[in-house]
């Protein structure tokens, strides 16, 4: 089944909602980074929310970066997304193992630890928009709900789940965001709160074969008005040309130092794990 996200409205415009299936996307990241289950779950949840946040951007040239900076063993997580459904991301330490949490599930909160959730949106303005909140749990869905409510003043319900198999592959991943718009009635908010409790685990719903549309209808308790469907995919912006420009920016002295000490340059992209090698002749050409 394809990875995609939808944007919808409900309750006669009192709420807007997003839902996504990101199984292939998260599995691609697991394979590229050879991540263990806790890292796959943490990065997968962040990528899922990031993909839906990308749909919130208005212009094709806009993009956003999510940074999770915790003091846990996973280190930092970084996710980039845009309104075209292109997403990439990495976790600083993908090989982390912890005992299960009190609920018997992957201890993502222990892997993340305490820290901050930062969102940077490049909207083509003179300065990018920056929002930041303290992590409230490290389990990430709750942290994003807190971010939307505090930093963007939009009360939101957020869920994201990743089901990892014993061989470290990802069998199901997805999530949803429901946001209350100005003027939403108390009874509408109560209905959403009830729906969030009823839907339970996102991965359980995906295991049952539920689509993003199905999941939103369970949460909202009524058919949704889908306004957009967007295919999601992994895409990295790195290239040999970008690496060469980065080396040029280091300056002649640094390039000469690479020539003298290593005879070549090896640069690895954090997002896709691709390694670019520039030979002695290529470095001399840069000089």
CATH of residue 244: 3.90.1280.10
Same domain, 24 and 157: yes
- With 0-12 / 13-18 / 19 or more C-beta atoms within 10 angstroms meaning exposed / middle / buried, residue 139 is buried
Whichever domain contains 69, its CATH number is 3.55.30.10
Same domain, 33 and 170: yes
In tens digits, what is the pLDDT along the chain, a chain of 287 residues? Answer: 899 999 999 998 899 999 999 999 999 999 999 999 999 999 999 999 999 999 999 999 999 999 999 999 999 999 999 999 999 999 999 999 999 888 889 999 999 999 999 999 998 888 899 999 999 999 999 999 999 999 999 999 999 999 999 999 999 999 999 999 988 899 999 999 999 999 999 999 999 999 999 999 999 998 889 999 999 999 998 888 888 888 888 888 888 888 888 888 888 888 998 888 888 888 888 88
Same domain, 201 and 255: no
**Residue located via tokens 């369970």:** 218
Predicted local distance difference test score (pLDDT) of residue 102? 86
Torsion of CA 252, 254, 260, 266, to 10 degrees: -110
CA-CA distance, 279 to 265, in Å (whole number)? 7
Predicted local distance difference test score (pLDDT) of residue 167? 95
Predicted local distance difference test score (pLDDT) of residue 166? 92
Same domain, 54 and 187: yes
Predicted local distance difference test score (pLDDT) of residue 203? 96
CA-CA distance, 218 to 220, in Å (whole number)? 6
CA-CA distance, 6 to 283, in Å (whole number)? 46
Which domain covers residue 195, as residue numbers? 4-234
> Which pTM value belongs to this model?
0.92
Predicted local distance difference test score (pLDDT) of residue 138? 94
Predicted local distance difference test score (pLDDT) of residue 262? 83
CA 232 from chain center: how many Å? Answer: 12
Predicted local distance difference test score (pLDDT) of residue 106? 93
Structurally, the chain folds into a number of domains equal to 2
Predicted local distance difference test score (pLDDT) of residue 228? 95
Predicted local distance difference test score (pLDDT) of residue 253? 84
276: Cβ–Cβ under 8 A, 6 or more apart, which residues?
A: 238, 240, 243, 266, 267, 268, 269
What number of residues does the chain have? 287
- SS3 category, 278: strand
How many helices (H) and strands (E) would you count in the chain?
10, 13
Same domain, 245 and 153: no
């Amino acid at each position: 089944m394809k990875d995609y996200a939808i944007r919808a409205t409900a309750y006669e415009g009192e709420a807007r909602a997003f839902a996504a299936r990101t199984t292939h996307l998260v599995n691609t990241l697991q394979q590229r980074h050879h991540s263990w289950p806790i890292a796959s779950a943490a990065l997968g949840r962040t990528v899922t929310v990031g993909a839906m946040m990308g749909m919130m951007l208005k212009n094709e040239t806009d993009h956003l970066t999510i940074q999770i900076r915790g003091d846990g063993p996973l280190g930092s997580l970084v996710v980039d997304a845009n309104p075209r459904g292109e997403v990439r991301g990495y976790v600083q330490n993908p090989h982390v193992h912890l005992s299960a949490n009190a609920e018997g599930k992957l201890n993502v909160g222990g892997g993340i630890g305490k820290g901050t959730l930062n969102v940077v949106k490049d909207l083509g303005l003179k300065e990018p928009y920056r929002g930041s909140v303290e992590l409230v749990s490290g389990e990430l869905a709750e942290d994003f709900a807190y971010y939307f409510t505090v930093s963007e003043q939009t009360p939101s319900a957020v869920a994201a789940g990743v089901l990892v198999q014993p061989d470290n592959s990802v069998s199901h991943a997805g999530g949803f965001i429901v946001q209350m718009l100005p003027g939403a009635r108390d009874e509408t908010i109560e209905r959403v709160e009830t729906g969030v409790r009823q839907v339970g685990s996102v991965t359980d719903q995906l295991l049952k074969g539920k689509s993003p549309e199905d999941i939103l209808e369970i949460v909202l308790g009524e058919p949704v008005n889908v306004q957009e469907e967007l295919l999601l995919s992994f895409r990295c912006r790195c290239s040999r040309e970008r690496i060469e420009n980065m080396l040029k920016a280091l300056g002649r002295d640094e390039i000469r130092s690479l020539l003298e000490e290593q005879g070549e340059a090896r640069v690895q992209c954090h997002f896709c794990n691709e390694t670019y090698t520039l030979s002695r002749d290529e470095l001399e050409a840069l000089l």
